[in-house]
Protein backbone atom coordinates (compact mmCIF):
# COMPACT_ATOMS: atom_id res chain seq x y z
CA UNK A 1 0.00 0.00 0.00
CA UNK A 2 2.87 2.36 0.73
CA UNK A 3 4.16 3.76 -2.50
CA UNK A 4 7.72 3.33 -1.27
CA UNK A 5 7.60 -0.46 -1.67
CA UNK A 6 10.74 -0.99 -3.71
CA UNK A 7 10.08 -4.54 -4.80
CA UNK A 8 7.10 -6.31 -6.22
CA UNK A 9 7.56 -9.29 -3.94
CA UNK A 10 5.14 -9.57 -1.04
CA UNK A 11 6.55 -8.86 2.39
CA UNK A 12 6.88 -11.17 5.38
CA UNK A 13 7.45 -9.83 8.90
CA UNK A 14 7.80 -11.41 12.32
CA UNK A 15 9.60 -11.11 15.66
CA UNK A 16 10.66 -13.20 18.61
CA UNK A 17 11.44 -12.22 22.18
CA UNK A 18 14.85 -12.79 23.75
CA UNK A 19 13.15 -14.02 26.94
CA UNK A 20 15.23 -17.16 27.49
CA UNK A 21 18.68 -18.62 26.90
CA UNK A 22 17.24 -20.73 24.12
CA UNK A 23 14.26 -20.88 21.81
CA UNK A 24 12.16 -24.05 21.97
CA UNK A 25 10.50 -26.50 19.59
CA UNK A 26 7.30 -24.43 19.61
CA UNK A 27 9.11 -21.31 18.46
CA UNK A 28 10.86 -23.24 15.72
CA UNK A 29 7.97 -25.22 14.28
CA UNK A 30 5.28 -22.65 15.07
CA UNK A 31 7.10 -19.67 13.65
CA UNK A 32 10.77 -19.70 12.68
CA UNK A 33 10.57 -22.54 10.15
CA UNK A 34 7.93 -20.50 8.29
CA UNK A 35 10.12 -17.37 8.48
CA UNK A 36 12.84 -19.29 6.71
CA UNK A 37 10.56 -20.66 4.01
CA UNK A 38 8.94 -17.34 3.27
CA UNK A 39 12.35 -15.83 2.47
CA UNK A 40 12.24 -17.65 -0.87
CA UNK A 41 9.48 -15.56 -2.33
CA UNK A 42 8.99 -12.65 0.09
CA UNK A 43 10.89 -9.56 1.09
CA UNK A 44 11.46 -10.53 4.68
CA UNK A 45 11.90 -8.48 7.87
CA UNK A 46 12.64 -10.44 11.03
CA UNK A 47 13.48 -8.94 14.38
CA UNK A 48 14.54 -9.73 17.91
CA UNK A 49 11.86 -8.15 20.10
CA UNK A 50 14.23 -6.79 22.74
CA UNK A 51 11.85 -3.99 23.77
CA UNK A 52 9.09 -6.53 24.33
CA UNK A 53 11.47 -8.52 26.53
CA UNK A 54 11.83 -5.46 28.80
CA UNK A 55 8.17 -5.83 29.82
CA UNK A 56 9.20 -8.55 32.27
CA UNK A 57 12.23 -6.68 33.70
CA UNK A 58 15.17 -8.97 32.87
CA UNK A 59 18.61 -8.46 34.42
CA UNK A 60 20.61 -6.26 32.00
CA UNK A 61 23.49 -8.72 31.63
CA UNK A 62 21.05 -11.56 31.04
CA UNK A 63 19.16 -9.65 28.39
CA UNK A 64 22.38 -8.72 26.58
CA UNK A 65 23.45 -12.35 26.36
CA UNK A 66 20.03 -13.48 25.23
CA UNK A 67 19.93 -10.97 22.39
CA UNK A 68 23.12 -12.38 20.91
CA UNK A 69 21.96 -15.92 21.48
CA UNK A 70 18.72 -15.10 19.71
CA UNK A 71 20.53 -13.72 16.68
CA UNK A 72 22.78 -16.79 16.52
CA UNK A 73 19.80 -19.15 16.77
CA UNK A 74 17.86 -17.39 14.03
CA UNK A 75 20.88 -17.67 11.73
CA UNK A 76 21.32 -21.32 12.70
CA UNK A 77 17.67 -21.92 11.85
CA UNK A 78 18.28 -20.60 8.36
CA UNK A 79 17.38 -16.91 8.43
CA UNK A 80 19.63 -15.61 5.68
CA UNK A 81 20.89 -12.06 6.22
CA UNK A 82 21.55 -11.70 2.50
CA UNK A 83 17.85 -12.12 1.79
CA UNK A 84 16.18 -10.95 5.01
CA UNK A 85 16.62 -7.88 7.16
CA UNK A 86 17.49 -9.36 10.57
CA UNK A 87 17.58 -6.70 13.27
CA UNK A 88 16.94 -5.67 16.88
CA UNK A 89 13.68 -3.86 17.50
CA UNK A 90 15.46 -1.26 19.66
CA UNK A 91 17.77 -0.32 16.76
CA UNK A 92 14.82 0.98 14.78
CA UNK A 93 13.30 3.80 16.87
CA UNK A 94 10.38 4.08 14.46
CA UNK A 95 8.77 1.12 16.25
CA UNK A 96 8.25 3.09 19.45
CA UNK A 97 7.47 6.29 17.55
CA UNK A 98 4.56 4.65 15.75
CA UNK A 99 3.51 2.76 18.89
CA UNK A 100 2.69 6.04 20.61
CA UNK A 101 0.23 6.98 17.89
CA UNK A 102 -1.42 3.57 18.20
CA UNK A 103 -1.50 3.86 22.01
CA UNK A 104 -3.63 6.93 21.48
CA UNK A 105 -5.99 5.06 19.14
CA UNK A 106 -6.50 2.00 21.35
CA UNK A 107 -9.29 1.79 23.90
CA UNK A 108 -8.38 0.88 27.45
CA UNK A 109 -11.01 -1.86 27.47
CA UNK A 110 -9.86 -3.12 24.11
CA UNK A 111 -6.31 -3.58 25.41
CA UNK A 112 -7.68 -5.17 28.57
CA UNK A 113 -9.32 -7.95 26.57
CA UNK A 114 -5.99 -9.40 25.42
CA UNK A 115 -5.88 -12.90 26.88
CA UNK A 116 -2.10 -13.08 26.89
CA UNK A 117 -1.94 -10.02 29.17
CA UNK A 118 -4.51 -11.59 31.46
CA UNK A 119 -2.52 -14.83 31.67
CA UNK A 120 0.88 -13.24 32.11
CA UNK A 121 -0.26 -10.59 34.59
CA UNK A 122 -2.15 -13.19 36.63
CA UNK A 123 1.09 -15.12 36.89
CA UNK A 124 3.18 -12.08 37.82
CA UNK A 125 0.62 -10.85 40.38
CA UNK A 126 -1.60 -7.88 39.64
CA UNK A 127 0.71 -5.26 41.21
CA UNK A 128 3.84 -6.58 39.53
CA UNK A 129 2.62 -6.63 35.93
CA UNK A 130 4.03 -3.58 34.13
CA UNK A 131 2.16 -1.07 32.00
CA UNK A 132 4.57 -2.18 29.26
CA UNK A 133 3.13 -5.68 29.45
CA UNK A 134 -0.32 -4.16 29.10
CA UNK A 135 0.53 -2.09 26.01
CA UNK A 136 2.79 -4.73 24.42
CA UNK A 137 0.23 -5.71 21.73
CA UNK A 138 0.06 -2.07 20.68
CA UNK A 139 3.82 -1.88 20.19
CA UNK A 140 3.42 -5.14 18.31
CA UNK A 141 0.89 -3.51 15.99
CA UNK A 142 3.50 -0.85 15.22
CA UNK A 143 6.17 -3.54 14.70
CA UNK A 144 3.97 -5.12 12.07
CA UNK A 145 2.27 -2.24 10.30
CA UNK A 146 5.50 -0.29 9.75
CA UNK A 147 6.57 -2.86 7.16
CA UNK A 148 3.30 -3.21 5.30
CA UNK A 149 3.58 -7.01 5.37
CA UNK A 150 1.29 -9.38 3.50
CA UNK A 151 2.13 -12.27 5.80
CA UNK A 152 2.98 -12.46 9.48
CA UNK A 153 4.19 -15.99 10.32
CA UNK A 154 3.33 -16.66 13.99
CA UNK A 155 1.93 -19.32 16.29
CA UNK A 156 -1.73 -19.60 17.23
CA UNK A 157 -1.19 -17.71 20.50
CA UNK A 158 -0.58 -14.51 18.49
CA UNK A 159 -3.86 -14.60 16.59
CA UNK A 160 -5.64 -12.16 18.91
CA UNK A 161 -2.74 -9.70 18.77
CA UNK A 162 -2.79 -9.88 14.99
CA UNK A 163 -6.47 -9.07 15.06
CA UNK A 164 -5.70 -5.96 17.12
CA UNK A 165 -3.13 -4.93 14.51
CA UNK A 166 -5.73 -5.34 11.79
CA UNK A 167 -8.23 -3.28 13.75
CA UNK A 168 -5.72 -0.51 14.36
CA UNK A 169 -4.77 -0.43 10.69
CA UNK A 170 -8.41 -0.07 9.76
CA UNK A 171 -9.06 2.57 12.42
CA UNK A 172 -6.08 4.64 11.39
CA UNK A 173 -7.10 4.44 7.73
CA UNK A 174 -10.64 5.47 8.63
CA UNK A 175 -9.52 8.54 10.60
CA UNK A 176 -6.57 9.70 8.56
CA UNK A 177 -6.85 8.19 5.10
CA UNK A 178 -5.68 4.97 3.49
CA UNK A 179 -2.24 4.18 4.95
CA UNK A 180 -1.87 0.66 6.31
CA UNK A 181 -2.52 -2.77 4.87
CA UNK A 182 -4.44 -5.20 7.10
CA UNK A 183 -1.89 -7.99 7.45
CA UNK A 184 -2.83 -11.68 7.35
CA UNK A 185 -1.70 -14.00 10.10
CA UNK A 186 0.25 -16.85 8.53
CA UNK A 187 -0.54 -19.70 10.91
CA UNK A 188 -0.03 -23.28 9.75
CA UNK A 189 -2.41 -25.93 10.93
CA UNK A 190 -0.57 -28.70 12.75
CA UNK A 191 2.30 -26.58 14.04
CA UNK A 192 0.36 -23.59 15.34
CA UNK A 193 0.51 -24.83 18.92
CA UNK A 194 3.29 -27.16 20.01
CA UNK A 195 2.20 -28.35 23.43
CA UNK A 196 4.01 -28.49 26.75
CA UNK A 197 5.31 -32.03 27.41
CA UNK A 198 4.18 -32.05 31.02
CA UNK A 199 0.99 -30.06 30.61
CA UNK A 200 -0.21 -31.02 27.12
CA UNK A 201 -3.22 -28.74 27.13
CA UNK A 202 -0.93 -25.66 27.37
CA UNK A 203 1.47 -24.35 24.76
CA UNK A 204 5.21 -24.78 25.19
CA UNK A 205 6.42 -21.39 26.43
CA UNK A 206 9.80 -19.82 27.19
CA UNK A 207 8.55 -18.09 30.28
CA UNK A 208 5.72 -20.34 31.53
CA UNK A 209 6.82 -23.94 30.90
CA UNK A 210 8.60 -25.98 33.55
CA UNK A 211 12.03 -27.25 32.42
CA UNK A 212 10.72 -30.74 31.68
CA UNK A 213 7.76 -29.41 29.73
CA UNK A 214 9.86 -27.70 27.11
CA UNK A 215 12.54 -28.87 24.68
CA UNK A 216 15.02 -26.09 24.11
CA UNK A 217 16.70 -25.93 20.74
CA UNK A 218 20.00 -25.57 22.63
CA UNK A 219 19.36 -28.50 24.97
CA UNK A 220 21.95 -31.20 25.16
CA UNK A 221 20.64 -33.96 22.81
CA UNK A 222 20.57 -36.58 25.58
CA UNK A 223 18.61 -34.32 27.87
CA UNK A 224 16.17 -33.44 25.08
CA UNK A 225 15.62 -37.14 24.35
CA UNK A 226 14.99 -37.83 28.02
CA UNK A 227 12.38 -35.09 28.21
CA UNK A 228 10.51 -36.64 25.28
CA UNK A 229 10.69 -40.10 26.82
CA UNK A 230 9.28 -38.79 30.09
CA UNK A 231 6.50 -36.74 28.50
CA UNK A 232 3.12 -37.07 30.19
CA UNK A 233 0.86 -39.49 28.32
CA UNK A 234 -2.74 -40.42 28.79
CA UNK A 235 -4.48 -43.40 30.32
CA UNK A 236 -5.00 -46.37 28.02
CA UNK A 237 -2.33 -47.62 25.65
CA UNK A 238 -3.72 -47.17 22.17
CA UNK A 239 -1.84 -44.76 19.91
CA UNK A 240 -4.64 -42.62 18.54
CA UNK A 241 -4.92 -38.91 17.67
CA UNK A 242 -7.58 -37.30 19.84
CA UNK A 243 -6.53 -33.98 21.41
CA UNK A 244 -9.68 -33.88 23.58
CA UNK A 245 -9.31 -37.16 25.41
CA UNK A 246 -5.66 -37.93 24.65
CA UNK A 247 -3.84 -34.59 24.69
CA UNK A 248 -0.47 -36.10 25.65
CA UNK A 249 -0.15 -38.73 22.94
CA UNK A 250 -1.78 -36.41 20.39
CA UNK A 251 0.86 -33.76 21.08
CA UNK A 252 3.63 -36.31 20.50
CA UNK A 253 2.01 -37.57 17.29
CA UNK A 254 1.69 -34.11 15.95
CA UNK A 255 5.29 -33.23 16.86
CA UNK A 256 6.48 -36.38 15.10
CA UNK A 257 4.48 -35.49 11.99
CA UNK A 258 5.84 -31.95 12.09
CA UNK A 259 9.46 -33.02 12.27
CA UNK A 260 9.03 -35.67 9.57
CA UNK A 261 6.93 -33.29 7.46
CA UNK A 262 4.20 -35.85 7.06
CA UNK A 263 0.58 -36.14 8.19
CA UNK A 264 -0.59 -37.22 11.63
CA UNK A 265 -2.59 -40.01 9.95
CA UNK A 266 0.59 -41.40 8.41
CA UNK A 267 2.30 -41.41 11.81
CA UNK A 268 -0.68 -43.12 13.46
CA UNK A 269 -0.57 -45.77 10.73
CA UNK A 270 3.18 -46.20 11.19
CA UNK A 271 2.76 -46.93 14.92
CA UNK A 272 -0.40 -48.98 14.67
CA UNK A 273 -0.50 -51.76 17.25
CA UNK A 274 2.58 -50.42 19.07
CA UNK A 275 2.80 -48.94 22.54
CA UNK A 276 3.31 -45.36 23.71
CA UNK A 277 6.92 -46.23 24.51
CA UNK A 278 7.73 -47.05 20.90
CA UNK A 279 6.50 -43.69 19.71
CA UNK A 280 8.38 -41.90 22.48
CA UNK A 281 11.69 -43.62 21.73
CA UNK A 282 11.40 -42.91 17.99
CA UNK A 283 10.46 -39.29 18.60
CA UNK A 284 13.25 -38.87 21.17
CA UNK A 285 15.76 -39.91 18.49
CA UNK A 286 14.38 -37.42 15.97
CA UNK A 287 14.47 -34.60 18.52
CA UNK A 288 18.00 -35.47 19.68
CA UNK A 289 19.25 -35.26 16.07
CA UNK A 290 17.50 -31.98 15.54
CA UNK A 291 18.85 -30.21 18.63
CA UNK A 292 22.30 -31.74 18.18
CA UNK A 293 22.90 -30.15 14.80
CA UNK A 294 21.06 -26.97 15.72
CA UNK A 295 23.29 -26.50 18.77
CA UNK A 296 26.45 -26.93 16.73
CA UNK A 297 25.40 -24.37 14.15
CA UNK A 298 24.37 -21.89 16.85
CA UNK A 299 27.68 -22.22 18.69
CA UNK A 300 29.61 -21.46 15.52
CA UNK A 301 27.69 -18.18 15.12
CA UNK A 302 28.22 -17.35 18.79
CA UNK A 303 31.96 -17.71 18.29
CA UNK A 304 31.96 -14.48 16.29
CA UNK A 305 29.90 -11.84 18.15
CA UNK A 306 31.38 -9.00 16.07
CA UNK A 307 29.92 -10.60 12.94
CA UNK A 308 26.53 -10.92 14.69
CA UNK A 309 26.64 -7.19 15.46
CA UNK A 310 27.48 -6.40 11.84
CA UNK A 311 24.57 -8.49 10.58
CA UNK A 312 22.17 -6.80 13.02
CA UNK A 313 23.45 -3.34 12.05
CA UNK A 314 22.93 -4.03 8.36
CA UNK A 315 19.45 -5.36 9.06
CA UNK A 316 18.53 -2.27 11.08
CA UNK A 317 19.73 0.05 8.33
CA UNK A 318 17.57 -1.82 5.81
CA UNK A 319 14.57 -1.72 8.19
CA UNK A 320 14.95 2.00 8.80
CA UNK A 321 14.85 2.69 5.06
CA UNK A 322 11.33 1.30 5.12
CA UNK A 323 10.20 2.44 8.58
CA UNK A 324 11.48 6.04 8.47
CA UNK A 325 9.23 7.29 5.66
CA UNK A 326 6.22 5.51 7.19
CA UNK A 327 6.56 7.35 10.49
CA UNK A 328 7.09 10.66 8.67
CA UNK A 329 3.90 10.05 6.69
CA UNK A 330 1.93 9.06 9.80
CA UNK A 331 3.14 12.04 11.86
CA UNK A 332 2.15 14.29 9.00
CA UNK A 333 -1.30 12.72 8.65
CA UNK A 334 -2.16 12.99 12.35
CA UNK A 335 -1.34 16.72 12.29
CA UNK A 336 2.12 16.94 13.80
CA UNK A 337 4.34 19.54 12.18
CA UNK A 338 7.85 18.79 10.95
CA UNK A 339 10.68 19.86 13.24
CA UNK A 340 13.70 21.71 11.89
**Which residues are annotated binding-site positions for L-tryptophan?**
143
Would you list which residues are annotated within the binding site? 17-19, 26-27, 143, 155-157, 194, 203-207
158 in contact with ligand ATP (CB under 6 A): yes
Q: What is the largest distance, in Å, between two alpha-carbon atoms of the chain?
A: 75
53 φ, ψ (degrees, to nearest 5) = -65, -30
Would you list which residues are annotated within the binding site for ATP? 17-19, 26-27, 155-157, 194, 203-207
- Is 118 an annotated catalytic residue? no
Of 55 and 101, which has the nearer Cβ to ligand ATP? 55
45 φ, ψ (degrees, to nearest 5) = -130, 115
Catalytic residue chosen out of the listed positions 123, 128, 193, 206: 206
271, 278 contact by CB (below 8 A): yes
Of 194 and 282, which has the nearer Cβ to ligand ATP? 194
Residue sitting closest to ligand ATP (CB): 30
Residues binding ligand ATP: number (CB under 6 A): 20
- Is 203 an annotated catalytic residue? yes
How near is the Cβ of 189 to ligand ATP at its closest, in Å?
12
Q: Which of residues 97-156 bind ligand ATP (CB under 6 A)?
A: 154-155
The vertex-216 CA angle with 211 and 221, nearest 5°, equals: 100
Catalytic residue chosen out of the listed positions 118, 123, 193, 203: 203
Spell out a b/e string for 205-239, using b for 16 or more CB atoms within 10 Å of the CB, else e.
Answer: bbeebeebbbbbbbbebeebbebbeebbbbeeeeb
Q: Using the rule CB under 6 A, give the single segment among 14-22, 84-92, 98-106, 285-293 that binds ligand ATP.
A: 14-22
14, 86 contact by CB (below 8 A): no
Q: What binding mask, one character per residue, do residues 189-228 give for ligand ATP by CB under 6 A, x or -?
A: ---xxx--------xxxxxx--------------------
Residue from 12, 22, 27, 39 touching ligand ATP (CB under 6 A): that is: 27
| CA quadruple 233, 236, 239, 242: dihedral sign | negative
Of 204 and 330, which has the nearer Cβ to ligand ATP? 204
Of 17 and 106, which has the nearer Cβ to ligand ATP? 17
16 in contact with ligand ATP (CB under 6 A): yes
Distance CA 79, CA 72 (A): 10
CA atoms within 13 A on the CB side of 18: 28
Distance CA 177, CA 138 (A): 20
Residue from 12, 17, 97, 165 touching ligand ATP (CB under 6 A): that is: 17
Distance CA 281, CA 174 (A): 56
Residue from 21, 110, 119, 157 touching ligand ATP (CB under 6 A): that is: 157
250 in contact with ligand ATP (CB under 6 A): no
Hey, which bits of the chain come out as E strands?
Answer: 11-16, 43-48, 84-88, 151-153, 184-186
How near is the Cβ of 20 to ligand ATP at its closest, in Å?
7
158, 190 contact by CB (below 8 A): no
Q: Using the rule CB under 6 A, give the single segment among 23-31, 175-183, 240-248, 286-294 that binds ligand ATP.
A: 23-31
Distance CA 85, CA 307 (A): 15
How near is the Cβ of 227 to ligand ATP at its closest, in Å?
14
> 5 to each of 29, 84, 165, how far by Cα in Å?
29, 15, 20
How near is the Cβ of 159 to ligand ATP at its closest, in Å?
9
Provide the annotated active-site residues.
120, 203, 206
Footprint on this chain of ligand ATP (rule: CB under 6 A)? 16-17, 19, 26-27, 30-31, 154-155, 157-158, 192-194, 203-208
Amino acid sequence: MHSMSSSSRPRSLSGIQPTAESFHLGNYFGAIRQWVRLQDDHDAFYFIADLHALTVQPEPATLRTRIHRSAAQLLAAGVDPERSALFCQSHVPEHTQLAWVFNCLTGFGEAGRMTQFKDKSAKAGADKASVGLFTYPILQAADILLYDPHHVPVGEDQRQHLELSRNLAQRFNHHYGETFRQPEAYILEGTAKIVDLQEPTAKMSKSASAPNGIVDLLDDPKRAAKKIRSAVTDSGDEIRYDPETKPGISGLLSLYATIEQTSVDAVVAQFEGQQYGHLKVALADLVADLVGSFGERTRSYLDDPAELDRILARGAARAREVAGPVVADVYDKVGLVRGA
